[in-house]
Amino acid sequence: MSKYLMIPMLLLLSACTSSSGVVPVGSDVYMISRSEKGFDRTGSGVKLNALKTANEFCAAKGEQMELVSSLGQDMKPFRADAQAVVEFKCI
């Protein structure tokens, strides 16, 4: 594959994000599942973006976000995207 085709393909891959949005999973507990494509993505970076979403969700309710648990996984080339799962409460 020529380098002229590789560059646009890499740029397209670096911009793809998938998120569950905020989902209630129990008594006052919420979860966000998020994945991001790209060779420069890390599990900690994806987790940071999920935490920002959690903070915004709680702030819109006039509350503070309290982290219950979190998990981040780095991307594995040609096998898996960078992923994160965050569980939180709004207090």
pLDDT, tens digit, 9 for 90 and up, residues 46-87: 999 999 999 999 999 999 999 999 999 999 998 999 999 999
pLDDT, tens digit, 9 for 90 and up, residues 3-62: 555 555 544 445 577 898 999 998 899 999 999 998 889 999 999 999 999 999 999 999
Task: Look at the chain and report how many structural domains it folds into.
Answer: 1
Range of the domain at 49: 3-90
Question: Which pLDDT value is given to residue 4?
Answer: 58
Closest CA to 36 of 28, 47, 26, 25: 47
Phi-psi region of 40 (alpha: psi -120 to 50; beta: other; left: phi over 0): alpha
